[in-house]
Structure 1
């Protein structure tokens, strides 16, 4: 089975509290990729925090309130949000970088096997790389693919370095 994981393509990372120029330009292409994969083959993560975020370890190190459950910034962004709904994509709310911190019942519903797993979304050097590692551990025989055209960072140089790290972790980087 080939799967697509859309990582944290949420309003706060595109044009909200932690948004950055260029993140919005990924929207149409990510939405198109979601539709290409279609029903039963798409999952998405949502960075999900509570109002006490600043009292957490992550909040102490990244003191910007973002992706608080139920706020507009927590919602998926633009055309991608619509495409995810159209294909019935399954959401994984996560309180930290990796999806393995999400609801165990949702994680148990992930496919038992995968041949190829593609990741896209935000932010390349934080949650995309973290989830590539999580998925590589969960599916050691799957080919992990990251399309460089469908992910980005607030720091373009760090983005490029992250793609190099992902390649070093045996992920296939396409679209570079």
Structure 2
């Protein structure tokens, strides 16, 4: 069985930075454990990184979410040290994205880069924005592959919006599990 793990936006600004939450801080150790589990099993892991530039405030997103975050090459843009000290990120594909979903990941899925995957698991931040966006892209590109979101390895902007996103994904045939 070839499982693929997609780790969404486990970046400092979403954990304890400008858009951080206690819920995000609380999932970091679970995310590290999940990544380690996949790595030890020799499974494929890919990462996404929210990536903005200095013009963020004048972008469409910046106008609707006027909190500057994940500016490329800043400390807030970096993937959490808890992850980077646990694994060698250079071994894995990282998709930088300037919006919620990764169009580059969608193209790679469409072009068969991950066709050997028998299932896909998605974890990360924020459940109600980037996790759900990427989950829907994956479901659209690979509708016959089972897709799971581990709710215990995700956090939303608020607990309520996290739960709403999980319910929306369930309605779109994405399995939601909660490995506490």
TM-score of the superposed pair, with normalisation by structure 1: 0.91
Separation in structure 2 between the aligned mates of residue 105 and residue 87 of structure 1, nearest angstrom: 19
Q: Which residue is equivalent to 1:29?
A: 30
Give the gaps of 5 or more residues in structure 1: none
Q: Deviations over 1:34-87 (max 9, x none)?
A: 111115500000000000101110111001110000000000013223334268
The answer on 1:75 being equivalent to 2:73 is: no
Separation in structure 2 between the aligned mates of residue 87 and residue 36 of structure 1, nearest angstrom: 18
Q: Deviations over 1:67-118 (max 9, x none)?
A: 0000000000132233342682210000000011569689968423422110
User: How many residues are matched?
Assistant: 176
Q: Which residue is equivalent to 1:141?
A: 144
Asked whether the equivalents of residues 5 and 42 of structure 1 are also in contact (C-alpha less than 8 Å), the reply is yes
Give the gaps of 5 or more residues in structure 2: none
Asked whether the equivalents of residues 145 and 171 of structure 1 are also in contact (C-alpha less than 8 Å), the reply is yes
Label 1:123 to 1:116 Cα distance change in 2 as closer, same or farther (>3 A).
same
In the TM superposition, residue 18 of structure 1 has moved relative to its aligned partner by 0.6
Asked whether the equivalents of residues 109 and 141 of structure 2 are also in contact (C-alpha less than 8 Å), the reply is no
Separation in structure 2 between the aligned mates of residue 151 and residue 44 of structure 1, nearest angstrom: 14
Asked whether the equivalents of residues 95 and 102 of structure 1 are also in contact (C-alpha less than 8 Å), the reply is no
Q: Which residue is equivalent to 1:58?
A: 61
Separation in structure 2 between the aligned mates of residue 113 and residue 19 of structure 1, nearest angstrom: 35
Label 1:92 to 1:107 Cα distance change in 2 as closer, same or farther (>3 A).
farther
TM-score of the superposed pair, with normalisation by structure 2: 0.89
Label 1:84 to 1:165 Cα distance change in 2 as closer, same or farther (>3 A).
farther
Asked whether the equivalents of residues 94 and 102 of structure 1 are also in contact (C-alpha less than 8 Å), the reply is no
Q: Which residue is equivalent to 2:132?
A: 129
The answer on 1:8 being equivalent to 2:9 is: yes
Q: Deviations over 1:1-28 (max 9, x none)?
A: 2100000010000011111112111111
Asked whether the equivalents of residues 109 and 115 of structure 2 are also in contact (C-alpha less than 8 Å), the reply is no
Q: Which residue is equivalent to 2:178?
A: 175
**Equivalent position SS for 1:30:** helix
* Structure 1 stretches of 4+ moved >3 Å: 101-110
The answer on 1:164 being equivalent to 2:163 is: no
